Amino acid sequence: MLRMRVVLLSVLVLLVPALIFAGGAREPEGPIELRMNTLFHGGDAQAMQMIVEEFNSVHDDIQIDLTQGSWTEYFAQLNNAVIAGEAPDIGIALNFRLHDIYPALTPLNDSPAGNLLDTYGFRRNDYVEEVWDLATFDGNQYAIPLDNTMLGIYYNKDLFREAGLDPENPPQTMEEFVHAANALRDAGYYAFHPGAYGQARWYRRMWYVNLWQMGGELLDGERAAFDNELGREALEALVAVPARGWNEPGTNGAAQFDAGELGMLMNGTWHYLDMANVDFEWGMMGVPRWFDNRHTWGSNHYLVIPKQSGSDAERRVDAAAQAIQWMSENSHTWGIYGGHVPLRRSALENPELRNSDTWEKSLGMFTDMAFSGVYKPLPNHPSINEINAAIEPYIEQAYNGTMDVNTAISRAAADVNAVLAGN
Amino acid sequence: MAHILAERYAFRCRCIRPIFNSEVKSDKLLAVAVNPRERCGHEGAATIAPVPAEPDAAKHQQFAAMRRKANAKIPEWLLFILPYGALWLTFLFGPLLFGFFISLHRWDPLRGNAFVGFENYAVLFARARFWNSFAVTWQFVVLVIPGVVLVGLLAAIALHFGRFRGKSAFESLLFFPYLLNVSIISIVWRLMHDPSIGIIRPLFARLGIALPPLLNSATWALPMVALTTIWWLAGYRMIIFRAAIASIPADLYESARLDGAGPFRTFFAITLPLLRPTLLFALVVTTVGGMRTFGQVIMMTAGGPGVATEVLALYMYRLAFDFADFGRAAAVGFVLFLMIFAVSMVLVRVLKLKGDLR
């Protein structure tokens, strides 16, 4: 009897896992789970989270598992994940990283699941064509444009009033700007922060804005084009910010602004989301015409499908394209939640977007800037990322007052020329 | 006089060590492990704890001979290092060779790798930014080593010889930072330095000293990262030094006192010479650790302002993960390895550490 029980029990013990695994093997009929990995953090990440949650709630057959947060290592990680055959199904690319990253992406017109552009109706003229074309390499399309981000000046209307300025007429010229900043400083506040969160890259971008407004350029073919009077004057204008007592080096402008201690902050479209939680009245003035031409720095995000391996690549790539199509068609929500200018024309015309609070507060102005030539794209050079990185330590040191402007510009130019020469 | 005693005792202790050993507390056992001079290789040890006679000695010898014959082909030392050796080959030496291999290529698996010989090294050696990182790494090491070793040593001495209240609180406070992860200590110190919300500037302002934002100063940023590192690591060195000091037998001090030696003479004639191996070991370990520093720097200053705190490990990381330039990053890594290897060898040979570690 006992022996019988032992045998029965053993059979049962062996059978249960077998049944479970057999059940598991039949599973693929359920929803496909896609992994989406982005470089968004802060407000952007919240906005993308909302969009993905919305996607998941209206789809039964596809579910997206979202991971976000790392900005600096994002592209190297994406690259390595593709090499290791572990790439996420959906990713994000930036215009100035496309040259580095496109070999790791699925060509959308020639994917394991066929021509996805045809299948899901992605057409070049549905988007801003120049931005679409930046993602075209050797006739293949590697990415779908999502947005245009830009830098503009957010200002604290309460502090404007306190400094005796008219909050409804923010400065438009250099003269008005200097007047406003001096008034804010004299009222006892930080007047202006040119560098968003205070990392070197933000000062470098502000210097680009000055350079472009003065009519200067970053590159002339394969040479640095800023080792001249324009480059130096553009940097002098940036260094004037701490020199005039408008702010001090080493500070985080976004934190100062959100705490109500800063009058004017140069920051991107995404700062709209921070503004939901502040207890003062604010506005966004775009960028003043500081010099000859009104220009600002910005970038583009794209939706991409990293290269997939494995037996179910066809199915996953197809599902990823379906998800990207939905996100692109609904990218007005990315505008409403995230504050960025969507680049799909239908989304840009969406009445929900046009009537949103975001549009009224900041996005309307940014959209004007995007389509009136104020937004100036970075040079479309294969080494643009390394060029940026070569410049920024010198700009930061000049801003900190630890290197003089002439030395900073000539060293930055020498380093850029070394990058361009392949060294 | 006292140091002669110390020498004599060191010799004598070999014979009594088995007895001594059974009496020490666990923290002293650690000291025995750290302090190799105490290790007893004396054959006579067996006479203190005699091995019971083998009942069948002839059979035993026969077995031993058989085993020797069977093992003749595999040297014994190889068997002993095999467990660690396998891990070392897989996770340390293998990757090192592979890193060197990568450093000889333009490494881009998706577009195809290309062998370029030593071009990556040549390009790096021509870059000012590489030499900046090289110099910053050395400056950091020079700032950190004396700090960590001195603070650790002085605290250990104060705790061992000093008579004051709150000893264990002091010890815990000093050791506590070592329990924290590098990211936590970096974030805490960065926040303390923050120009808007940090505590350091208002504190000094109250004392009438107007500080610049130290982490944004090309002069002060690296010393501040070094200070954080000293705060982080000195407590651990203190524990090691304390254990080593505690393992110095008390009767040595007693004899010294009887001979009329004052506290300074005692320290330089007894404590310091017997601490020598531990001190040198701490020196090597701190130097190697200092050269590999990465976490504190990337989280406190990200190499800035400018490139004032960009150590080699951070420059390597930038090349690899910002620019996907894995070939040159591997070249920086190999240079860093050679540097650490050379310095370790020099310290071991020049300071005669090898003899002390035997």
Domains of chain A, start order: 32-142+299-329 (3.40.190.10), 150-297+377-420 (3.40.190.10)
Residue A143's nearest CA partner among A122, A157, A120, A173 is: A122
Q: What is the pTM of this model?
A: 0.79
Asked if residue B323 belongs to a domain, the reply is: yes
pLDDT tier at A174, thresholds 50, 70, 90: very high
Asked if residue B253 belongs to a domain, the reply is: yes
Interface residues from chain B to A (CB-CB < 8 Å):
108-111, 123, 126-129, 194-197, 212-213, 215-218, 302, 304-308, 318, 320-324
List the single residue in B196, B308, B318 with the smallest CB-CB distance to A255.
Answer: B196
| B248 in Cβ contact with B271 (< 8 Å) | yes
For residues B259 and A141, which has the higher predicted lDDT (pLDDT)? A141
Asked if residue B152 belongs to a domain, the reply is: yes
DSSP state, B89?
I
Task: State both tokens at A57.
Answer: 């709630």
The C-alpha atoms of residue A415 and residue A224 are separated, in whole angstroms, by: 9
CB atoms within 10 A of CB A26: 8
The amino acid that residue A122 corresponds to is F
Residue A147's nearest CA partner among A325, A363, A301 is: A301
| A92 in Cβ contact with A39 (< 8 Å) | yes
The C-alpha atoms of residue B177 and residue B184 are separated, in whole angstroms, by: 10
| B164 in Cβ contact with B253 (< 8 Å) | no
Asked if residue B106 belongs to a domain, the reply is: no
Asked if residue B79 belongs to a domain, the reply is: no
Does residue A307 have a pLDDT over 90? Answer: yes
Does residue A412 have a pLDDT over 80? Answer: yes
pLDDT for position A7: 55
Q: Using a CB-CB distance cutoff of 8 angstroms, which residues of chain B are in contact with residue A104?
A: 110
List the single residue in B129, B195, B320 with the smallest CB-CB distance to A250.
Answer: B195
pLDDT for position B46: 39
Q: What is the mean pLDDT of residues A250-256?
A: 91
Handedness of CA A244, A245, A249, A255 (dihedral sign): negative
Q: What is the mean pLDDT of residues A14-36?
A: 63
pLDDT for position B53: 53
Q: Which residue of B has its CA nearest to A82?
A: B110
Does residue A314 have a pLDDT over 90? Answer: yes
Q: Cβ B318–A415 below 8 Å, yes or no?
A: no
The domain in which residue B9 lies consists of 2-38+123-357
pLDDT for position B96: 94
Pairing of strands A262-268, A190-193: parallel
Helix axes B272-291, B2-23, angle to 10 degrees: 80
Q: What is the mean pLDDT of each run of 10 residues along chain B (358 residues)?
A: 46 40 41 43 44 65 74 76 92 94 91 91 91 96 93 91 86 92 94 87 90 87 95 92 90 87 85 86 89 93 89 94 89 95 84 58
Asked if residue B77 belongs to a domain, the reply is: no
For residues B270 and A317, which has the higher predicted lDDT (pLDDT)? A317
The C-alpha atoms of residue A285 and residue B216 are separated, in whole angstroms, by: 30
Q: For residue A91, what are the β-bridge partners?
A: A304
The amino acid that residue B178 corresponds to is Y
Q: Which residue of A has its CA nearest to B121?
A: A423
List the single residue in A252, A259, A397 with the smallest CB-CB distance to B218.
Answer: A397
Asked if residue B270 belongs to a domain, the reply is: yes
**Tens of pLDDT along A200-226?**
999 999 999 999 999 999 999 999 999
Helix axes B272-291, B26-34, angle to 10 degrees: 80
Query: Looking at the 3D structure of chain B, how many domains does it have?
Result: 1
Q: Cβ B322–A248 below 8 Å, yes or no?
A: no
The C-alpha atoms of residue A170 and residue A154 are separated, in whole angstroms, by: 10
The C-alpha atoms of residue A18 and residue A12 are separated, in whole angstroms, by: 10
Contacts of B348 (CB under 8 A, 6+ apart): B284, B354, B357
The C-alpha atoms of residue B323 and residue B332 are separated, in whole angstroms, by: 14
Q: Cβ B305–A400 below 8 Å, yes or no?
A: yes
pLDDT for position B74: 72
Instruction: Find tokens 């982080």 and name the residue.
Output: B232
- The kind and range of the H/E element at A156 are strand A144-156
The C-alpha atoms of residue A113 and residue A6 are separated, in whole angstroms, by: 53
Task: State both tokens at A219.
Answer: 């590159």
| A363 in Cβ contact with A382 (< 8 Å) | no
Q: Cβ A402–B195 below 8 Å, yes or no?
A: no
Contacts of A247 (CB under 8 A, 6+ apart): A190, A191, A192, A193, A194, A241, A253, A256, A262
Q: What is the mean pLDDT of residues A353-375?
A: 94
H-type helices in chain B, by residue range? Answer: 2-23, 26-34, 45-48, 57-71, 76-88, 94-103, 119-125, 128-161, 167-175, 182-193, 200-206, 221-246, 250-258, 263-266, 272-291, 295-300, 312-317, 326-350, 353-357
Does residue A18 have a pLDDT over 60? Answer: no
| A241 in Cβ contact with A263 (< 8 Å) | no
**Tens of pLDDT along B156-170?**
999 988 888 888 899
Q: Is the peptide bond before B305 cis (omega within 30 degrees of 0)?
A: yes
ipTM surpassing 0.85, yes or no? no
Q: Using a CB-CB distance cutoff of 8 angstroms, which residues of chain B are in contact with residue A248?
A: 195, 213
DSSP state, A383?
T
Work out the percent of chain A whose per-residue pLDDT is above 70.
Answer: 93
- What is the four-CA torsion angle of B63, B69, B75, B80, rounded to 10 degrees? -20
Q: List b or e across A200-216, with b for residues whose CB sees 16 or more CB atoms inside 10 angstroms.
A: bbbbbbbbbbbbbbbeb
Residue A165's nearest CA partner among A144, A186, A195, A135 is: A186
pLDDT tier at A423, thresholds 50, 70, 90: low
| CATH classification of the domain holding B291 | 1.10.3720.10
Q: Which residue of B has its CA nearest to A254?
A: B196
Interface test with A, best of B196, B219, B307, B319 (most A CBs within 10 A): B196
Interface A–B counts its CB contacts (< 8 A) at 82
| A415 in Cβ contact with A383 (< 8 Å) | no
Q: What is the mean pLDDT of residues A341-361?
A: 94
Q: Using a CB-CB distance cutoff of 8 angstroms, which residues of chain B are in contact with residue A393?
A: 304, 306-307
The C-alpha atoms of residue A417 and residue A94 are separated, in whole angstroms, by: 24
Asked if residue B221 belongs to a domain, the reply is: yes
For residues B35 and A84, which has the higher predicted lDDT (pLDDT)? A84
Task: State both tokens at B354.
Answer: 């090898």
pLDDT for position A139: 95
pLDDT for position A41: 85
Cα dist from A283 to A156, A264, B274, whole Å: 7, 10, 70
List the single residue in A255, A400, A423 with the smallest CB-CB distance to B123.
Answer: A423
Does residue A12 have a pLDDT over 80? Answer: no
pLDDT for position B71: 62
The Cα of B104 is separated from the nearest Cα of chain A by a number of Å equal to: 15
Cα dist from A352 to A336, A349, B39, B128, whole Å: 8, 9, 80, 53
Q: Cβ B324–A252 below 8 Å, yes or no?
A: no
pLDDT for position A293: 95
DSSP state, B109?
T
Interface test with A, best of B119, B120, B216, B224 (most A CBs within 10 A): B216
